[in-house]
Amino acid sequence: MPRLPYGVLLVSGSHTHQEDYAAAFAADPRCRLVAVTDEAGIDRRRAALNRRLAKQLGLPYLTDFGEALGRKDVQIVSICAPPERRGRIAVRCAQAGKHLYLDKSLAPRLEEVDALVAAVEAAGVRSQMFSFITQPWAAHARQLVAEGRLGQLRAIHADVFFAKGRTGTADLGSPRREAYPPARHQLMQAKRELDNVGVYPITLIHWLTGRKFRSVHAITANYFFREHQQQDVEDFGLLSGTLEGGMVVSIAAGRYGWTTHPASGINRMLLVGSRRSVVVDAHRPRLEMHTDEAPWTPPPVHPRDPMAFWSSTQQESGVRRKQTWVPLWPAASDVSYFLDCLGAGRESEMSVFPAAHAAEVLLAAYRSASEGRVVTLPLAREQIEPRRTRPLRPS
Amino acid sequence: MPTPRKSRDKVRATGAAPRSRPALTMQDLYRAVDAARPRIGHPVFVRYTRLGREDAGALVALLARMVADAQAWIGRPPERLWANGSARRGQVCVTVQFQSGATALVGYAAPGDGLDLLILGNHGSMTYDSGIGFSGDTPLPYTLAEPADPRLQAAITRSLESGEPQPLAPS
């Protein structure tokens, strides 16, 4: 067990969720930020954004990734590299004996997911993927289930949408054709929203029930944003399926625009029990405010982040907080929970193991959306040749 | 003692029984949704869930009527559906794909009382909370004059039996 504070190495910088994760680590007295780093061979834009966050945080930017991983004063690596690079980076960090704090979703390819799980197991390090399970309303849902107040849980129907971006620009006359395996997950203009948002209800359902998904039928679509359509990534996804034991679940997820919701977006689950059913809503209970303050209006479109993915670009655009609904549930820190787990020497409930299942469900969903059929899980593992990692430039 | 309101006195004067709460029906919801629908742009997704205590034998017909409701809100015919779950266990979720590319998740869950509706358009959304698990809102009685479409019923039944999506021929 390392002596406190934990040293935290940040992989990737500005214009990723590292902006938020680094702030959360920095705010916790159990941590000390050490440096920002990234793989060799990244493009100039990414390198500049990495340097930018390092400068903002007063940290060195280490261009030698291997050397950064070898530092003795690093115990945790917070990984926000784009999905296509995330898996292999996380494997190297685990192999270096570092605990992993990971952006979601885990990785877009099954072999990368399996390799990461194997690496974490072999190294005996702790891991956590960002999720909603640490939020108080999620804990409330779990308590309802655990205490048997709903009777036996029979079905879950969940909807999660992010209310950001300027909606109404997609061409509805061009229905989406999904491709499998999915490529291009995270671009400057758009992300795959079934993956980006759908990972939350998938992980919540698995965590609440303790059951894995066994079948999935999914559809992806472009309903709201020209940006997503132009980049050939979906802004909407739905998924219906069954868990172990036959429990019926359904999910609708995506991004639907600033003005489509009075707060950050719908985020709710209908839990159907044998005795009673309840809706658990992240926005309930709440205060509702109506005043003579200037009404909320959407911010101007940021040219380098039209969907307002990142905290820094939201600040630059002058995004105002919506204040009609005042939440009563206090926001919880996902990072704090991870540090609690490390301190107690226990596994996070959103370690790479459940996170890997979520990644597999997402892959099954994309396959279903592409082929128009029901896909059963676990997915077949193809004969995997000895792993070929992309050669890195000598550092 | 509270002072009686004028309107209440007037009702008494006519001999009509005062009602503390008017009864709402599905027709009221349809009317409200139809009036509000243009404000959300083109409807692209419907999440429509009913909690009830129906006999398993009545579920397929009920779901077919709900799919027909979703069709009316989307404004285009359904092209394909997949029914997931078990009518016997009272848990069914029907995924519907419409000719326009719009989609719906139409579900029935038991036991319970209530109706949950979310309609997403490309310019906005509308939600109807029946009060499932929230407050004491009275669930709307599901009364429809129109019989269930036998074509939709047959497709839902085939999908439940086969576990596979079913195409829907144009009506």
Instruction: With CB atoms and an 8 Å threshold, state whether A246 touches B107.
Output: no
How far does A155 lie from chain B, in Å, by closest CA? 7
Assess A9–B contact: CB distance below 8 Å, yes or no. no
Residue with token string 């226990």: A346
Which of B103, B111, B124 lies closest to A260 in CB terms? B124
Assess B101–A contact: CB distance below 8 Å, yes or no. yes
Mean pLDDT for all residues in chain A: 94
Cβ neighbours for A142, distance < 8 A, ≥ 6 positions apart: A207, A208
**Closest residue by Cα to residue A171 from B101, B97, B160, B71:** B101
Assess B99–A contact: CB distance below 8 Å, yes or no. no
B82 vs A contacts (CB less than 8 Å): 217, 240, 374
Instruction: With CB atoms and an 8 Å threshold, state whether A373 touches B164.
Output: yes
pLDDT at B144: 58
Instruction: With CB atoms and an 8 Å threshold, state whether A261 touches B118.
Output: no
pLDDT beyond 70 at A82: yes
DSSP 3-state of B115: strand
More confident residue, A222 or A390: A222
Percentage of the residues of chain A whose pLDDT score is greater than 70: 96
pLDDT at A187: 92
More confident residue, B18 or A162: A162
The mean pLDDT of A193-206, rounded to a whole number, is 98
Instruction: With CB atoms and an 8 Å threshold, state whether B47 touches A157.
Output: yes
Category of A147 on φ-ψ map: left (φ > 0), alpha (ψ -120 to 50) or beta: alpha
Q: What is the rounded distance in angstroms from the CA atom of residue A382 to the CA atom of residue A385?
A: 9
Which of A238, A272, A372 lies closest to B103 in CB terms? A238
Assess A372–B contact: CB distance below 8 Å, yes or no. yes
**Phi, psi for A10 (deg, rounded to 5):** -105, 125
Instruction: With CB atoms and an 8 Å threshold, state whether B101 touches A221.
Output: yes
More confident residue, A57 or B28: A57
Assess B90–A contact: CB distance below 8 Å, yes or no. yes
How far does A259 lie from chain B, in Å, by closest CA? 7
Which of B47, B112, B129 lies closest to A159 in CB terms? B47
pLDDT at A385: 44
Instruction: With CB atoms and an 8 Å threshold, state whether A373 touches B107.
Output: no
pLDDT band at A2 (very low <50, low <70, confident <90, very high): low
Percentage of the residues of chain A whose pLDDT score is greater than 90: 91
Q: Which DSSP letter does residue B87 get?
A: T
pLDDT at A158: 98
The mean pLDDT of A176-188, rounded to a whole number, is 93
Which of B101, B129, B164 lies closest to A172 in CB terms? B101
Burial classification of residue A18, based on how many CB atoms lie within 10 Å of its CB (0-12 exposed, 13-18 middle, 19 or more buried): buried
B41 vs A contacts (CB less than 8 Å): 168
pLDDT at A329: 87
pLDDT at B74: 97
CB-based contact B74:B98 (threshold 8 Å): yes
Q: pTM here?
A: 0.92
Q: What is the rounded distance in angstroms from the CA atom of residue A81 to the CA atom of residue A209?
A: 30
Instruction: With CB atoms and an 8 Å threshold, state whether B84 touches A236.
Output: no
How far does B3 lie from chain A, in Å, by closest CA? 30
Strands B43-51 and B103-109: parallel
DSSP 3-state of A354: helix
Candidates A219, A255, A264, A373: best to mutate against B (most CBs of B within 10 A) is A219
Least confident of A245-259, A373-387, B136-150: B136-150
Assess B136–A contact: CB distance below 8 Å, yes or no. no
More confident residue, A8 or A1: A8
pLDDT beyond 60 at A389: no
Q: What is the rounded distance in angstroms from the CA atom of residue A108 to the CA atom of residue A183?
A: 8
Instruction: Name residue A153's beta-bridge partners.
Output: A273
How far does A227 lie from chain B, in Å, by closest CA? 14
pLDDT at B53: 87
- ∠ Cα A33 A7 A13 (to 5°): 40
The token duo for B90 is 């009272």
B44 vs A contacts (CB less than 8 Å): 172, 221, 223-224, 236
Which of B45, B107, B122 lies closest to A167 in CB terms? B122
Q: What is the rounded distance in angstroms from the CA atom of residue B171 to the CA atom of residue B163?
A: 23
- Cα dihedral sign, A132-A13-A96-A107: positive
Q: What is the rounded distance in angstroms from the CA atom of residue A13 to the CA atom of residue A37?
A: 8
- In Å, how far are A61, A63, A102, A244, A315 from A44, measured between CA atoms? 14, 12, 23, 46, 23
- Cα dihedral sign, B35-B39-B42-B46: negative
pLDDT at B169: 78
pLDDT at B22: 61
pLDDT at A335: 98
pLDDT band at B17 (very low <50, low <70, confident <90, very high): low
Amino acid (1-letter code) at residue B38: P
pLDDT at B24: 78
Helix (H) or strand (E) holding A43: none
B49 vs A contacts (CB less than 8 Å): 157, 270
Assess A263–B contact: CB distance below 8 Å, yes or no. no
The mean pLDDT of A265-275, rounded to a whole number, is 95
**Closest residue by Cα to residue B50 from B70, B28, B35:** B70
pLDDT band at A4 (very low <50, low <70, confident <90, very high): confident
Q: What is the rounded distance in angstroms from the CA atom of residue B26 to the CA atom of residue B23?
A: 10
Assess B91–A contact: CB distance below 8 Å, yes or no. yes
How far does B136 lie from chain A, in Å, by closest CA? 13
Q: Which DSSP letter does residue A56 get?
A: H
pLDDT at B60: 95
The mean pLDDT of A362-382, rounded to a whole number, is 96
pLDDT band at B10 (very low <50, low <70, confident <90, very high): very low
Instruction: With CB atoms and an 8 Å threshold, state whether A154 touches B44.
Output: no
Which of B84, B91, B97 lies closest to A154 in CB terms? B91
CB-based contact A64:A92 (threshold 8 Å): no
A-proximal residues of B, 104-133, CB under 8 Å: 105, 107, 109-112, 114, 116, 118, 120, 122-125, 127, 129, 132-133
The mean pLDDT of B137-154, rounded to a whole number, is 71
More confident residue, A312 or A385: A312
CA dihedral B24, A325, A147, A211 (to 10 degrees): 90
pLDDT at A179: 95
B122 vs A contacts (CB less than 8 Å): 167-168, 170, 172, 223-224
Assess A270–B contact: CB distance below 8 Å, yes or no. yes
Residue with token string 């399996």: A114
DSSP 3-state of A362: helix
pLDDT at B26: 87
CB-based contact A226:A170 (threshold 8 Å): yes
B95 vs A contacts (CB less than 8 Å): 217, 219, 238, 240, 250
The mean pLDDT of B108-124, rounded to a whole number, is 93
